């Protein structure tokens, strides 16, 4: 009744903690689902599109670039996570870029050594992994705030999510563009993969559009749409199952409690 | 009894969108007729077949989008898209070319952007460009017009049907196909003038045998549209003028490497593009000043691509590139509103 | 004619359809069985009725007074009796009823007192303008802006052109045309009055070339004076005020500005006629010429109609076959609005009544997608881009719509007229404008709310602080007093009452003083707000905002508030002045004697003391327990006794309180038994309701269910009891 | 060796240069107050209703500005406010997080049924706008112009005599509705009475 109660500052509900702070414990399941689906680097954050659209003309190219990116994300995440307590906020980005560049150089040399033809095919897009926003994004958003194991897992899952999407894109483009599957896989897997090529349609005219970047954009658009449709369906199901929140449960009385 | 409660104004001019589309289709009739006369029944078959595919595709997408089907099909925009695309592709192109082009035009270029009125690009030209870059061979094999020296009469109706739908060995017709005048010019001009001068497709004509007639027919149809006030003169005139001037300039500089302006204006798809493609209101600029700029830039791009680009004809590319610029042109050519000292330009910063 | 005519951009040429209603002379419409006179006939604030039901009024008598700046009086259109003042359907597109004065004519049509001004030139200009205002004359072309405001130019403004708008560009309407043909001299007389009022360099009459007879009539009437008749080509909407000004003078009224800013005043033909009637004949505006036309009407033509005549009466006289009419339009086919009820009355702005058949004006077609054909931009007389405005209005992008000058749209309908996709563009623009207006008023309201909330918080805090301070001061005073008493007792045992330095009296003085300061600042801020509002009002006036009356109201409110605070402040000041010097003597005796003779207070005191003693004892005991002291037993005993004592006093107090309450209730009951019972019953019922609600929300949980049910039943029973008691009491 | 040294030197000098530039910018352009919160606060309807879970609009604005709460909690503001906040903060639009399904997007005001009011003054204390007039044992009334429809006065009322009703539309507050859109015939058929 008194005015003491009616001032906002005295309201006991005010002292409730705001949104719970992120705990340091590792939610493995969440990291996996975020990386692969819920917060997929390509389908949700729409990051790293430059190599994605340029290189995903065939499965083998996609797979190679995806694996390389996965390697860089994972290793750079680990490295960033290890030094996270020693870098100040102002210099963190240059440091992260330096780390990522180092690992990218590693993978470039490795590919040069072991998959030389693929190295030639992918060309500039291997060094360009440095500029892949997904890599820097994970380093800054996750690895710089979490432990080594969690960061490694996050890097692996983000990279895997990226790889899955780029391979899916490569598959569709390869099928549409030249009606084959697993063409040229020997570039990546060596001679045992020489005969992996599957020809789906004989005497296919070739659909150049699918191979060219505009085709990648269109197919990418359809993949995004598909993801949104699936999410919508999932959400509908979830809301159907979920309990209705109690009306007014969150309400705070700005004028205090009137008894 | 009841009365209608409705906002003013209560009277309207009797011109509907459906009628606009219908008149544009009427306007293509002269061009269609000449194409049929010169190149056989192929174009007509493509127009009819393409319209059917377009209507079916439109109905399908509208159904998926839960929109009224008949209401949208009745406006005739899908048929118009099909007609324009069918006029642009070679008369002997196989049926799946038409199907792929039209599906892409209707489903992706038009309906996925929200249907009539919301598409940023001309759907027919999107379909055409897709076909051109995906199937360059099929899209550039034209049979010569039956006016050309030493060429037999154009394919009969049944021959055309067989060429389009049959599983004829396409190599048979390869024997009777020929490069288009623009293509020929592109290949030989500046390099091999003897070959250029002896090319039969260019003999005895001002813009390739038969092609000048095609363009004149489209010009006639276009003038009909201008007369019916379906389109205004700004875009076609600006486009043709800029193309003519540019071609004239370079022709004066070096007549051996560059075709004469008449050849450019009456060759290829110039008139079809000027009156029927570039004037598509949905994707063009709307103010008069904007239309002039828009048309002139299309003419410029057509010349640039024809003269120095990788493709012989460039109407489709030029129109699409300018479609992209139309909103910008629009924002910077706003008329001055009454009571304001100067015109607005750009959009509000929010 | 050598005068240059500037051409407006855009414009359309709809079918004229004016011939139909030009065939007959102006007919005087019958006086209907009842006249419904809306208090709001045009933009601005509605007038305030100043007659009562049952009053007999004479023709021309004021029945409602102007209420604010942009408001005009309303006059009785004929003599008769006021039979109702109530909400009736009026001519507003919202279909919301408005307050109307319903008049039952006595069919004598007796004029009340008329005061013609024979020689207006001998009067002050303002007096003539007041006469025009008091005659209730509003622009009779469409919006109906009060003419007196237009004519009341600001001192220092030089008027170069006075324009009489006789263009009448809307199809079907011939009211002005016919009026000119028949009464050109009277119109010119009205125009001459305006000429004298604003003293323009030149006076022009703008008229379209499709009215040859009217042009001839004007030429004849203006043969002997310096008024020039300018014939403009027929094109819609050249009759728009801004458009006509541009056509005749080449001047553009800047966006948001008034014609007088560029030295032009534009008045409607009917207005000039009405001014003539008002000045030369002393007749207020009680009737007007209205065109009744459309294929559903048999006797198409122009009628001189009393304001307030219901549309159906007029249509009946014109022989309209309403079963053939597809819609009823008040105004022209381009800008008129369809009316939803045939009992809507004719008002000052009703220049036409259109009852077209379905063949004539068909049902609108379905709206199609915009294909951006640009036809609308080609015809827009204001140079706007309707296709963009449509897009922004549709998607609620109001900022962009504003940037594209939505506010400059005159809603002429030319864009909708040419739209091949049948898009109701004008409605989109009206919607967009409404949203912008709403948005602005919401922002204002939100800011206002924030201010109030913050002020409230500040006030509460301050109150809290003051209370705290007072408490502290009181405690200090008490302590000091105690000390002083002790000292006094030690020094000189005899009494000394006025020893304490801080008496409540000074406290009071300080309070009044601070109160005065507070009031002063409140007064200052109130005055400032009032001044601000006044400034806003003048700006709004200049812009011709349609919320003028709201502004006016606000200003009045604020003014009243400012004055009130001022009065309060002055009061406080005087009271402070009066209290401060006499404080020591006038202050009540210091509260040295807390011993009240109220038994309740005594009991309370005792109870509190005892309780405290017990608590102290308990504490001590606990401490002792903790320390395992020796005197634990003694302490425990003491505690127990104290507890008993405390309990006893508590019980006594409770009893006393209950008794007191009972007594009070009894007293109340004797005073007003039903009221108390009513209250009880209401509370009980609410409790029952709440219980039932809780019960309904929770029927799964058995335990709480039962409890709640019990509670509910109990509450219900209480409520019933209370009800019964109430009934009994009421019967008693 | 000199190559290595020059590389190290150039990198170090670049690091020093950019680092000092950054440091300078950090000091020079430091912002001490939180203008974002002000901007967010300006977008909120200021009903002070507390339905967002914060005691007033300002605290919610601060929470949103500090990324401590979602932008979809303001029920009186509705979707327009969410859009405005999303634009301001560069976030994605998220639908209104309404606990009550019957959220209506029309302005509301409180209305006291005056013959039932017992004059307890509880609503007066509850009103964040001071928009209720009245004194003890006197019936109360709402100043409609000041009421924001926050419904904080409803719950404290012991006799439930306060209703939250939609604000009455008048000729001045009425606005044209949006046309129904593509595919719909504009206008509505209205039965007319009193036809001669």
Q: Is the pLDDT confidence value at A212 over 90?
A: no
- pLDDT greater at residue C320 or residue C505: C320
Indicate whether A177 belongs to any domain: yes
pLDDT per residue as tens digits for the range B57-95: 999 999 998 888 888 888 899 999 999 999 999 888 889
Q: Is the pLDDT confidence value at B192 over 50?
A: yes
* C452 CB within 8 Å of a chain D CB: yes
Q: For the domain that residue C297 is a member of, what is the CATH number?
A: 3.40.50.11540
- Rounded to an integer, the average pLDDT of A42-71 is 86
pLDDT per residue as tens digits for the range B303-346: 999 888 888 888 999 999 999 999 999 888 888 888 888 877 77
Residue among B275, B113, D178, B337 at smallest CA distance from C242: B337
Indicate whether C575 belongs to any domain: no
The fraction of chain C above a pLDDT of 70, given in percent, is 79
- pLDDT greater at residue C518 or residue C529: C529
Indicate whether C562 belongs to any domain: no
Q: Which residues of D touch C365 (CB under 8 A)?
A: 185
Indicate whether A186 belongs to any domain: yes
Indicate whether A14 belongs to any domain: no
Whole-number pLDDT of residue C224: 84
Which range has highest mean pLDDT (A4-8, A156-160, D69-73)?
A156-160
Q: For the domain that residue C698 is a member of, what is the CATH number?
A: 1.10.287
Best probe of the C interface among D85, D107, D181, D194, by most C CBs < 10 A, is D194
Q: Is the pLDDT confidence value at C397 over 60?
A: yes
pLDDT per residue as tens digits for the range C308-342: 999 989 999 998 888 888 888 998 999 988 888 88
Indicate whether C12 belongs to any domain: no
Q: Do D125 and A247 touch (CB under 8 A)?
A: no
∠ CA C125-C126-C130, rounded to 5°: 120
Q: Is the pLDDT confidence value at A3 over 60?
A: no
Query: Domain boundary residue among C502, C536, C561?
Result: C502
Q: Is the pLDDT confidence value at A137 over 70?
A: yes
Which pLDDT band, with edges at 50, 70 and 90, does C596 fall under?
A: very low
d(CA C481, CA C477): 6
Distances A133 to A48, A62, A79, A123 between C-alpha atoms, Å: 5, 17, 17, 19
Residues C488, C387, single domain; the answer is yes
Residues C332, C412, single domain; the answer is no
Q: Is the pLDDT confidence value at C582 over 60?
A: no
Beta bridge partners of C166: C207
What residue of D is the nearest CA neighbor of A20?
D68
- Mean of the per-residue pLDDT values of chain A: 81
Task: Specify the range with the lowest mean pLDDT, choosing from B4-8, B204-208, D182-186.
Answer: B204-208
d(CA B330, CA D119): 63
Structural domain including A75 reads: 25-238
- Rounded to an integer, the average pLDDT of B172-188 is 69
The CB density around residue A83, as the number of other CB atoms within 10 Å, is 14
The Cα of A138 is separated from the nearest Cα of chain D by a number of Å equal to 19
Whole-number pLDDT of residue B217: 94
Indicate whether C360 belongs to any domain: no
Whole-number pLDDT of residue C539: 66
Whole-number pLDDT of residue C667: 56
Indicate whether C318 belongs to any domain: yes
Whole-number pLDDT of residue B88: 92
What residue of D is the nearest CA neighbor of C457?
D128
d(CA C340, CA C97): 11
Q: Do D189 and B5 touch (CB under 8 A)?
A: yes
User: Tokens standing for D130?
Assistant: 């001071």
Whole-number pLDDT of residue C624: 67
pLDDT per residue as tens digits for the range C20-39: 899 999 999 999 999 999 98
- pLDDT greater at residue C542 or residue C210: C210
The Cα of C258 is separated from the nearest Cα of chain B by a number of Å equal to 11
d(CA B39, CA B45): 12
Are C68 and C549 a contacting pair, CB within 8 Å? yes
Q: Options 1.20.5.510, 3.30.70.60, 3.40.50.2000, 3.30.70.20; which CATH number does D106-172 get?
A: 3.30.70.20
- Mean of the per-residue pLDDT values of chain C: 81
The Cα of D31 is separated from the nearest Cα of chain C by a number of Å equal to 25
Whole-number pLDDT of residue A12: 40
Task: Specify the range with the lowest mean pLDDT, choosing from B290-294, C442-446, C654-658.
Answer: C654-658
Residue among C100, C318, C289, C327 at smallest CA distance from D196: C318
Indicate whether A5 belongs to any domain: no
Which pLDDT band, with edges at 50, 70 and 90, does A25 fall under?
A: low
The residues in C 666-705 lying below 8 A from D, measured between CB atoms, are 679, 682-683, 686, 689
Residues C119, C160, single domain; the answer is yes
Q: Do C464 and A8 touch (CB under 8 A)?
A: no
Q: Give just the sign of the alpha carbon dihedral A208, A212, A214, A217.
A: positive
Structural domain including C688 reads: 672-732
Strand boundaries in chain D, DSSP class E: 108-112, 132-133, 141-142, 162-166, 188-191
d(CA C62, CA D175): 31
The Cα of A205 is separated from the nearest Cα of chain B by a number of Å equal to 8
Q: Is the pLDDT confidence value at C195 over 70?
A: yes
Q: Is the pLDDT confidence value at C456 over 80?
A: yes
Distances A75 to A30, A70, A86, A96, A151 between C-alpha atoms, Å: 20, 8, 18, 12, 9
Distances B180 to B185, B209, C245 between C-alpha atoms, Å: 9, 9, 60
Q: Do B135 and A218 touch (CB under 8 A)?
A: no
d(CA D150, CA D44): 13
The residues in D 115-174 lying below 8 A from C, measured between CB atoms, are 116, 118, 128-131, 146, 148, 158-160, 169-174
The fraction of chain B above a pLDDT of 90, given in percent, is 47
Whole-number pLDDT of residue A14: 38
Indicate whether C103 belongs to any domain: yes
Q: Is the pLDDT confidence value at A22 over 50?
A: no
> What is the location of CATH 3.30.70.20 in chain D?
106-172
Whole-number pLDDT of residue A181: 86
- Rounded to an integer, the average pLDDT of C598-626 is 70
Say which of A247, A249, A252 has its CB closest to residue D54. A252
Q: Is the pLDDT confidence value at C273 over 90?
A: yes
- Rounded to an integer, the average pLDDT of B264-280 is 91
Q: Is the pLDDT confidence value at C502 over 60?
A: no
Best probe of the A interface among C464, C470, C696, by most A CBs < 10 A, is C464
Whether CATH 1.20.120.1200 fits D35-89: no
Indicate whether C614 belongs to any domain: no
Write the ipTM. Answer: 0.83
Q: Is the pLDDT confidence value at C507 over 60?
A: no
Indicate whether A116 belongs to any domain: yes
A99-A103-A108-A112 Cα dihedral, nearest 10 degrees: 140
Residues C339, C375, single domain; the answer is no
Q: Is the pLDDT confidence value at C683 over 50?
A: yes
Which pLDDT band, with edges at 50, 70 and 90, does C544 fall under?
A: low
Q: Is the pLDDT confidence value at A46 over 90?
A: no
Whole-number pLDDT of residue C288: 92
- pLDDT greater at residue C675 or residue A146: A146
Whole-number pLDDT of residue C490: 75
- Rounded to an integer, the average pLDDT of B98-116 is 93
Residues C380, C337, single domain; the answer is no
The Cα of D152 is separated from the nearest Cα of chain A by a number of Å equal to 7
Which pLDDT band, with edges at 50, 70 and 90, does C699 fall under?
A: low
Indicate whether C598 belongs to any domain: no
Are C351 and C175 a contacting pair, CB within 8 Å? yes
Q: Is the pLDDT confidence value at B171 over 80?
A: no
- Rounded to an integer, the average pLDDT of A124-130 is 87
Cβ neighbors of C660 (< 8 A, separation 6 or more) are C600
Task: Specify the range with the lowest mean pLDDT, choosing from C365-369, C445-449, C503-507, C660-664.
Answer: C503-507
Q: What are phi and psi of C629, to 5 degrees?
A: -75, 170
Task: Output the tens digit of pLDDT for each of chain D's 196 residues.
Answer: 678 899 999 999 998 998 899 888 888 877 666 678 888 888 888 888 777 888 888 888 888 888 888 888 888 887 788 888 888 887 878 877 665 545 566 778 888 888 888 888 888 888 888 888 887 777 788 888 888 888 788 888 888 888 888 888 888 888 888 888 787 777 766 665 544 4
Residues C438, C469, single domain; the answer is yes
DSSP tag of D154 = T
Residues C452, C407, single domain; the answer is yes
Residues C316, C420, single domain; the answer is no
């Amino acid at each position: 009744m008194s005015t003491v109660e009616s001032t906002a500052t005295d309201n006991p509900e005010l002292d409730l903690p705001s949104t719970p702070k992120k705990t340091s414990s590792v939610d493995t399941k969440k990291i996996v689902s975020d990386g692969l689906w819920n917060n997929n680097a390509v389908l949700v954050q729409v990051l790293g599109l430059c190599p994605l659209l340029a290189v995903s003309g065939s499965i083998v190219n996609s797979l190679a670039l995806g694996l390389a990116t996965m390697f860089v994300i994972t290793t750079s995440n680990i490295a960033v996570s290890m030094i996270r307590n020693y870098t100040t906020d102002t210099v963190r980005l240059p440091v992260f870029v330096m780390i990522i560049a180092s690992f990218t150089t590693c993978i470039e040399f490795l590919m040069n050594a072991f998959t030389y033809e693929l190295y030639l095919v992918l060309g500039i897009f291997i060094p360009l992994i440095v500029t892949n926003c997904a890599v820097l994004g994970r380093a800054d958003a996750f690895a710089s705030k979490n432990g080594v194991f969690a960061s490694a897992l996050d890097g692996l899952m983000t990279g895997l999510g990226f790889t899955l999407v780029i391979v899916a894109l490569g598959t569709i483009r390869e099928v549409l563009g030249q009606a084959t599957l697993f063409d040229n896989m020997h570039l990546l897997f060596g001679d045992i993969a020489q005969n992996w090529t599957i020809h789906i349609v004989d005497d296919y005219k070739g659909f150049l559009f699918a191979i060219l970047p505009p085709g990648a954009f269109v197919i990418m658009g359809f993949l995004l749409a598909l993801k949104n449709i699936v999410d919508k369906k999932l959400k509908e199901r979830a809301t159907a199952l979920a309990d209705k929140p109690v009306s007014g449960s969150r309400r705070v009385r700005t004028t205090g409690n009137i008894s | 009894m009841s009365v209608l409660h409705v906002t003013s104004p209560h009277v309207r001019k009797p011109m509907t969108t459906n009628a606009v589309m219908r008149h544009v289709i009427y306007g293509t009739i002269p061009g269609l007729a000449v194409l049929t006369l010169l190149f056989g029944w192929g174009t007509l078959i493509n127009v009819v077949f393409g319209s059917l595919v377009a209507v079916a595709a439109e109905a399908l997408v509208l159904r998926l989008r839960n929109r009224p089907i008949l209401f949208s099909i009745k406006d005739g925009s899908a048929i118009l898209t099909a007609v324009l695309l069918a006029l642009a592709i070679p008369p002997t192109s196989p049926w799946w070319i038409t199907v792929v082009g039209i599906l892409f035009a209707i489903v992706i270029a038009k309906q996925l952007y929200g249907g009539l009125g919301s598409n940023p690009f001309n759907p027919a030209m999107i379909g055409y460009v897709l076909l051109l870059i995906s199937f360059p061979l099929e899209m550039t094999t034209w049979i010569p017009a039956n006016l050309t020296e030493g060429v037999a009469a154009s394919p009969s109706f049944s021959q055309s049907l067989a060429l389009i739908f049959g599983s004829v060995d396409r190599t048979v017709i390869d024997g009777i196909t020929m490069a288009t005048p623009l293509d020929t010019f592109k290949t030989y001009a500046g390099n091999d003038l003897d070959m250029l001068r002896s090319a039969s497709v260019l003999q005895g004509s001002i813009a390739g045998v038969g092609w000048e007639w095609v363009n004149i027919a489209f010009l006639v149809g276009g003038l009909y549209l201008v007369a019916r006030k379906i389109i205004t003169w700004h875009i076609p005139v600006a486009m043709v003028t800029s193309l003519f001037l540019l071609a004239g300039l370079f022709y004066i500089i070096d007549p051996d490497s560059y075709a004469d302006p008449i050849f450019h204006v009456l060759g290829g798809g110039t008139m079809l593009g000027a009156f029927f493609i570039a004037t598509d209101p949905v994707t063009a600029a709307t103010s008069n000043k904007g239309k002039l700029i828009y048309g002139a830039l299309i003419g410029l791009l057509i010349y640039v691509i024809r003269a120095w680009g990788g493709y012989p004809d460039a109407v489709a590319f030029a129109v699409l590139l300018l479609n992209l610029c139309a909103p910008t042109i629009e924002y910077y050519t706003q008329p001055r509103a009454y009571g304001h000292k100067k015109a607005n330009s750009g959009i509000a910063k929010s | 004619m050598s005068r240059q005519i500037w051409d407006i951009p855009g414009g359309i040429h709809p079918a004229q359809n004016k011939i139909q209603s030009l065939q007959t002379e102006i007919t005087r419409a019958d006086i209907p069985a009842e006249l419904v006179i809306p208090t709001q006939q045009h933009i601005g604030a509605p007038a305030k009725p100043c007659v009562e039901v049952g009053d007999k009024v004479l023709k021309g008598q004021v029945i409602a007074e102007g209420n604010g700046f942009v408001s005009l009086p309303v006059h009785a259109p004929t003599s008769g009796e006021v039979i109702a003042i109530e909400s009736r359907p009026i001519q507003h597109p919202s279909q919301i009823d408005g307050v109307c004065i319903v008049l039952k004519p006595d069919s004598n049509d007796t004029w009340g007192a008329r005061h013609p001004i024979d020689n207006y030139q001998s009067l002050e200009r303002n007096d003539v303008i007041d006469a025009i205002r008091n005659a209730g004359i509003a622009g009779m072309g469409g919006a109906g802006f009060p003419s007196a405001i237009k004519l009341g130019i600001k001192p220092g403004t030089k008027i170069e052109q006075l324009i009489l708008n006789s263009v009448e560009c809307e199809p079907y309407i011939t009211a002005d045309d016919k009026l000119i043909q028949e009464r050109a001299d009277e119109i010119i007389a009205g125009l001459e009055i305006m000429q004298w009022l604003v003293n323009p360099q030149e006076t022009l009459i703008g008229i379209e070339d499709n009215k040859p007879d009217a042009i001839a009539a004007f030429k004849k009437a203006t043969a002997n004076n310096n008024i020039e008749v300018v014939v403009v080509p027929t094109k819609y909407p050249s009759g728009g005020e801004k458009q006509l000004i541009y056509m005749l003078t080449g001047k553009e009224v800047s966006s948001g500005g008034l014609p007088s800013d560029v030295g032009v005043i534009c008045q409607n033909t009917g207005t000039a006629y009405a001014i003539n009637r008002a000045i030369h004949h002393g007749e207020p505006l009680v009737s007007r010429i209205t065109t009744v036309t459309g294929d559903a009407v048999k006797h198409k033509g122009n009628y001189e109609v009393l304001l307030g005549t219901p549309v159906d009466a007029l249509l009946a006289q014109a022989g309209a076959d309403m079963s053939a009419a597809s819609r009823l339009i008040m105004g022209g086919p381009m800008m008129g609005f369809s009316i939803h009820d045939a009992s809507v009355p004719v008002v000052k702005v009703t220049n036409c009544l259109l009852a077209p058949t379905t063949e004539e004006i068909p049902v609108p077609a379905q709206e199609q997608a915009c294909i951006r054909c640009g036809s609308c931009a080609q015809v827009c007389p204001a140079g706007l881009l309707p296709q963009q405005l449509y897009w922004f209005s549709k998607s609620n992008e109001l900022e962009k719509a504003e940037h594209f000058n939505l506010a400059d749209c005159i809603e002429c309908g030319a864009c909708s007229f040419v739209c091949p996709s049948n898009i109701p563009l004008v409605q989109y623009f009206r919607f967009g404008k409404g949203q912008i207006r709403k948005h602005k008023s919401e922002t204002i309201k939100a800011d206002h709310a924030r201010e109030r909330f913050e002020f409230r918080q500040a006030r509460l805090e301050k109150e809290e602080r003051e209370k705290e301070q007072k408490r502290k001061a009181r405690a200090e005073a008490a302590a000091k007093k105690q000390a002083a008493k002790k000292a006094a007792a030690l020094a000189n045992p005899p009494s000394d009452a006025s020893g304490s330095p801080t008496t409540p009296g000074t406290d009071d003085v300080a309070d009044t003083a601070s109160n005065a300061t507070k009031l002063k600042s409140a007064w200052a801020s109130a005055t400032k707000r009032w001044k601000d509002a006044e400034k806003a009002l003048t700006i709004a006036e200049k812009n011709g905002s349609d919320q003028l009356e709201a502004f006016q109201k606000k200003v009045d409110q604020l003014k009243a508030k400012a004055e009130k605070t001022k009065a309060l402040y002055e009061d406080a000041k005087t009271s402070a002045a009066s209290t401060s010097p006499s404080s020591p003597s006038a202050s009540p005796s210091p509260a040295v004697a807390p011993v009240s003779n109220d038994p309740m207070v005594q009991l309370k005191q005792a109870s509190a003391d005892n309780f405290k003693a017990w608590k102290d004892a308990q504490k001590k005991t606990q401490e002792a327990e903790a320390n395992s002291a020796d005197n634990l037993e003694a302490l425990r005993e003491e505690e127990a006794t104290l507890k008993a004592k405390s309990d006893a006093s508590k019980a006594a107090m409770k009893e006393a309180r209950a008794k007191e309450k009972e007594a009070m209730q009894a007293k109340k009951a004797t005073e007003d038994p039903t009221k108390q019972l009513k209250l009880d019953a209401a509370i009980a019922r609410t409790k029952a309701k709440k219980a039932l609600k809780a019960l309904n929300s929770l029927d799964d949980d058995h335990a709480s269910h039962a409890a709640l049910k019990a509670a509910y039943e109990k509450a219900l029973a209480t409520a019933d009891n209370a009800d019964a008691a109430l009934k009994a009491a009421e019967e008693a | 060796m000199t190559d290595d040294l020059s590389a190290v030197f150039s990198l170090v000098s670049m690091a020093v240069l950019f680092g000092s530039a950054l440091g300078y910018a950090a000091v020079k352009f430091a912002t001490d107050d939180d203008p974002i919160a002000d901007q967010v606060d300006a977008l909120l309807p200021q009903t002070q209703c507390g339905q967002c879970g914060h005691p007033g609009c300002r605290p919610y604005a601060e929470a949103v500005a500090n990324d401590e709460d979602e932008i979809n909690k303001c029920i009186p503001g509705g979707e327009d406010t969410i859009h405005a906040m999303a634009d301001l903060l560069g976030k994605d639009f998220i639908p209104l997080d309404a606990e009550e399904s019957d959220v209506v997007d029309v302005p509301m005001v409180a209305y006291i049924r005056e013959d039932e009011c017992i004059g307890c003054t509880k609503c007066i204390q509850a009103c964040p706008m001071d928009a209720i007039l009245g004194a003890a044992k006197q019936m109360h009334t709402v100043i409609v112009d000041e009421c924001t429809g926050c419904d904080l006065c409803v719950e404290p009322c012991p006799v439930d005599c306060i209703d939250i009703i939609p604000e009455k539309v008048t000729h001045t507050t009425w606005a044209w509705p949006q046309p129904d859109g593509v595919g719909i015939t504009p206008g509505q058929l209205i039965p007319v009475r009193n036809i001669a």
